[in-house]
Chains A and B, each alone.
Chain A
Amino acid sequence: MNTLLKIENLHAAVGEKEILRGIDLEIKAGEVHAIMGPNGAGKSTLAATLAGRDNITVTEGSVRFEGEDLVPLSPEERSWKGIFLGFQYPVEIPGLTNANFMKAAVNEHRKQRGLGPISAVEFLRMMKEKMALVEMDASFSSRAVNAGFSGGEKKRNEVFQMAMLDPKLAILDESDSGLDVDALRIVGTGVDKLRRPDNATILITHYQRLLDYIVPDYIHVLYKGRIVMTGDKDLAREIEDRGYDWIINTL
């Protein structure tokens, strides 16, 4: 299987503070990787680094996506190449409807592939299909982006946007936090349905419960900016039972 993402000895800082301190990670098409770890381990920083957040500086190491150096690319260029970040705290944009937001995004993606703007009919069909995936009702498309959304609606919107943009690599940053059981089921099954042999997913999570819906191939434990343990799906259950201390204490 072909390698989508290859991270080698990645060091990254927010301001002067080094958060990622030598990460190695390889992700192939068709795989789902879960990244777990205590608060402050650097999980969200890793996600934001991959998406190109500009307050993060890569100080050492490399990140390659399909063989290409990702570090100098802007967030939009990364999106065009097929990287998607599901935000832990989705941003509210009052005054911009979900439909107009997605139309702008889809059309920019099309432009990069040399295509003209999407037709109204095709766009509506696409919206309807992807909204059904996350059980959004018809009013969703004319509501402003995340404005006044519940926690669950915001996370479902992230999965909806992921479905609309059909990324090769989705990085979902705590898509399960703050969800009730129904929203968790919708998010979990939604992401699982988007799983294909030619794409890959990184799930950042604190809990086993999301992994009941999307069974990962690998689980990595991040601690103080490094991956300190890698295991299979059973590792999540062990962490749920025993916490992180038994891992940290062996370091």
Chain B
Amino acid sequence: METLELIEGTTSLRIEAGSSKSWLVMQRAGGTFRLDIAVEEDASLELAFIVLGDVCVANSLDVSLTGKGASCRLRGLWLLGGAADVKFDVRMNHEVPACTSEQMFKGILGGSARSNFFGLIKVAQDAQKTDARQQCHNLLLTGEARADARPQLEIYADDVVCTHGATVGRLDDDELFYMRSRGISLDEAKKIQLTVFAAAALDIVPEDVSAGLQGWIDAITL
């Protein structure tokens, strides 16, 4: 996985037929970013966003699967505190048959942070055998934090598998009590719960990167 430095404004990328790319975008500073990506025949793209801290970020992500057999895995994790404000606007366009896309976005929000996720999966009429999945889940750690998640499907083909799910929740008291009853302190139990929650958005990220996030998770817990 390579690091991709985004510059403000629009970046256009093309994943050439048969090739594969794996990129990590780390965002610790604010800005407005737009990324247009075309994934060609039998090409594959892995793209993971990690947004950290007290930042104002707006990401627009437009992925078009333009060649048969193209695939895309998107990941996003935001660990936010303070007055952070993060927007994700994701459009996944299945233009041709037999492409797959899989998206997993997770947000953990403390302070008075906000996140706004909009995710559209659009399947064109002849994009049969599409397999498109999208999940966006958020955990709010304070009463002031706020997360919105709006998944949307626009499907014009009939032989497709499309799923999406979105949740906004809080730490699970039953899980916390269960862990504490085994002697795991409240702070540690919270950290474990957040780490486990974030893990599904980090499965394609190298281990040293996800291990490096532990400090952020610890900081956001306390």
A→B interface (CB under 8 Å): 51-54, 74-76, 78-80, 84-85, 87, 90-91, 93-96, 101-102, 104-105, 108-109, 112, 161, 165
Q: Tell whether, in the assembled complex, residue A104 and residue B178 are in contact, meaning their CB atoms are under 8 Å apart.
A: no
B→A interface (CB under 8 Å): 174-175, 177-186, 188, 192-193, 196-197, 199-200
Q: Tell whether, in the assembled complex, residue A96 and residue B192 are in contact, meaning their CB atoms are under 8 Å apart.
A: yes
Q: How many interface contacts (CB-CB < 8 Å) are there between A and B?
A: 63
Give Cα distance in the complex from A76 to B177, angstroms: 9
What residues of A have a CB within 8 angstroms of the CB of B183 in the complex? 76, 79-80, 105, 108-109, 112, 165
**Taking the nearest CB of chain A, how far is it from the CB of B75, in angstroms?**
15
B198 closest partner in A (C-beta) = A95
Q: Tell whether, in the assembled complex, residue B180 and residue A104 are in contact, meaning their CB atoms are under 8 Å apart.
A: no
What residues of A have a CB within 8 angstroms of the CB of B185 in the complex? 76, 108
Give Cα distance in the complex from A82 to B181, angstroms: 10
What residues of A have a CB within 8 angstroms of the CB of B181 in the complex? 51-52, 75-76, 78-79, 84-85, 87
Give Cα distance in the complex from A165 to B200, angstroms: 30
Q: Tell whether, in the assembled complex, residue B196 and residue A95 are in contact, meaning their CB atoms are under 8 Å apart.
A: yes
Which residue of A51, A52, A108 has the most chain B CB atoms within 10 A of its CB atom?
Answer: A108
What residues of B have a CB within 8 angstroms of the CB of A84 in the complex? 181
B174 closest partner in A (C-beta) = A91
Q: Tell whether, in the assembled complex, residue B178 and residue A105 are in contact, meaning their CB atoms are under 8 Å apart.
A: no
Give Cα distance in the complex from A85 to B182, angstroms: 8
What residues of B have a CB within 8 angstroms of the CB of A87 in the complex? 178, 181
Give Cα distance in the complex from A124 to B118, angstroms: 45
User: Would A104 and B196 be within 8 Å (CB), given that A54-B177, A75-B177, A93-B178 are in contact?
Assistant: no
